[in-house]
């Protein structure tokens, strides 16, 4: 059966895995080391998804790139040893990935998380085997913009027909990043994005559960 899309590109944090515990604890560790006040770990969920350095700078109202880099460096002291393992896959995600592969789709990851960490998370949750290719940021805080990551994925995976590819993510930058490189986008509302912000961007659809993604792709 022919489908509208053949290449299904997923964001990671907030779309495939709930990484909120590990990320917020790592952010808290860094902010505390830098003497920055915050109102509990719930207030740190804004760090899930966007490029870390830029988010640290925005959160701390700083324009100092060196400060942002140091925040990320300290963040990784916790994340690389503990936080990276404090994650779970969302209910229904493994079934979705199995169904996609069994239906002949190619499945990919495009994340602003460093590629090294993305592979560790996917291996830890047992989901790495479902992905044809994983693309992420560099460890030096470059290639963190979602459009840049998607373009890198195209090159790495040898994807040449953008019309057969779609981006799926939980945050506005997933939708805008996809559009910047000429892709359609599907949003999910079970992650960390704000529903009203996703609705304003008018993606192809907004899915409340993983099974709704499969239904849309195969309808």
Examine the domain organization and report whether 124 and 112 are in the same domain: yes
Instruction: List residues bridging with 106 in a β-sheet.
Output: 7
Judged by DSSP in three states, 114 sits in strand
**Pairing status of strand 206-207 against strand 184-188:** parallel
Examine the domain organization and report whether 113 and 203 are in the same domain: yes
Among candidate residues 176, 177, 179, 166, the one with its CA nearest the CA of residue 207: 166
Kindly state whether residue 129 falls inside one of the protein's structural domains: yes
pTM: 0.89
Kindly state whether residue 127 falls inside one of the protein's structural domains: yes
Q: What is the mean pLDDT of residues 79-101?
A: 96
Predicted local distance difference test score (pLDDT) of residue 106: 97
Which domain CATH number covers 61?
A: 1.10.150.240
Examine the domain organization and report whether 164 and 102 are in the same domain: yes
Examine the domain organization and report whether 136 and 175 are in the same domain: yes
Predicted local distance difference test score (pLDDT) of residue 127: 98
pLDDT at 3 over 90: no
**Residue 208 Rama label (left phi>0; alpha psi -120 to 50; beta):** alpha
Q: How confident is the model at residue 131 (pLDDT cuts 50, 70, 90)?
A: very high
Active-site position among 11, 13, 18, 174: 11
Predicted local distance difference test score (pLDDT) of residue 122: 97
pLDDT at 49 over 90: no
Give the count of beta carbons closer than 10 Å to the beta carbon of residue 67: 15
Greater confidence (3 vs 156) lies with 156
Predicted local distance difference test score (pLDDT) of residue 48: 87
Q: How confident is the model at residue 141 (pLDDT cuts 50, 70, 90)?
A: confident
Examine the domain organization and report whether 110 and 53 are in the same domain: no
pLDDT tens-digit series, residues 193-211? 999 999 999 999 999 999 9
Boundary (domain end) residue, out of 69, 85, 101:
85
3-state secondary structure 190-216: CCCCCHHHHHHHCCCCEECCHHHHHHH
Examine the domain organization and report whether 189 and 162 are in the same domain: yes
Kindly state whether residue 2 falls inside one of the protein's structural domains: no
Predicted local distance difference test score (pLDDT) of residue 91: 97
Which domain CATH number covers 189?
A: 3.40.50.1000
Q: What total of structural domains would you count in the chain?
A: 2
Among candidate residues 11, 6, 15, the one with its CA nearest the CA of residue 212: 15
Examine the domain organization and report whether 123 and 201 are in the same domain: yes
Examine the domain organization and report whether 71 and 11 are in the same domain: no
Kindly state whether residue 1 falls inside one of the protein's structural domains: no
Examine the domain organization and report whether 122 and 77 are in the same domain: no
Boundary (domain end) residue, out of 64, 85, 106:
85
Residue span of the structural domain in which 95 resides: 7-18+88-218
Q: Which residue has the tokens 């925005």?
A: 58
Examine the domain organization and report whether 55 and 106 are in the same domain: no
Q: Establish whether 174 is a catalytic residue.
A: no
pLDDT at 1 over 70: no
Examine the domain organization and report whether 131 and 207 are in the same domain: yes
Examine the domain organization and report whether 25 and 13 are in the same domain: no
């Amino acid at each position: 059966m022919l489908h509208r899309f053949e290449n299904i590109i997923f964001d990671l944090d907030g779309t495939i895995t709930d990484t909120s515990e590990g990320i917020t604890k790592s952010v808290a560790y860094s902010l505390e080391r830098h003497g920055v006040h915050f109102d509990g770990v719930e207030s740190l969920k804004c760090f899930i998804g966007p490029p870390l350095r830029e988010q640290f700078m925005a959160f701390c109202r700083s324009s100092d790139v060196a400060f942002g880099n140091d925040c990320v460096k300290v963040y990784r002291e916790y994340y690389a040893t503990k936080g990276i393992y404090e994650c779970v896959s969302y209910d229904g995600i493994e079934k979705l990935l199995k169904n996609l592969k069994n239906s002949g789709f190619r499945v990919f990851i495009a994340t602003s998380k460093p590629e090294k960490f993305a592979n560790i998370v996917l291996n830890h949750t047992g989901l790495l085997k479902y992905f044809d290719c994983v693309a992420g940021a560099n460890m030096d805080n470059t290639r963190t913009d979602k459009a840049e990551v998607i373009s890198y994925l195209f090159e790495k995976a040898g994807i040449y027909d953008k019309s057969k590819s779609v981006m799926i993510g939980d945050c506005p930058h997933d939708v805008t990043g996809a559009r910047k490189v000429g892709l359609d986008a599907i949003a999910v509302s079970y992650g960390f994005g704000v529903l009203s912000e996703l609705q304003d961007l008018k993606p192809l659809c907004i899915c409340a559960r993983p099974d709704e993604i499969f239904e849309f792709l195969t309808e």
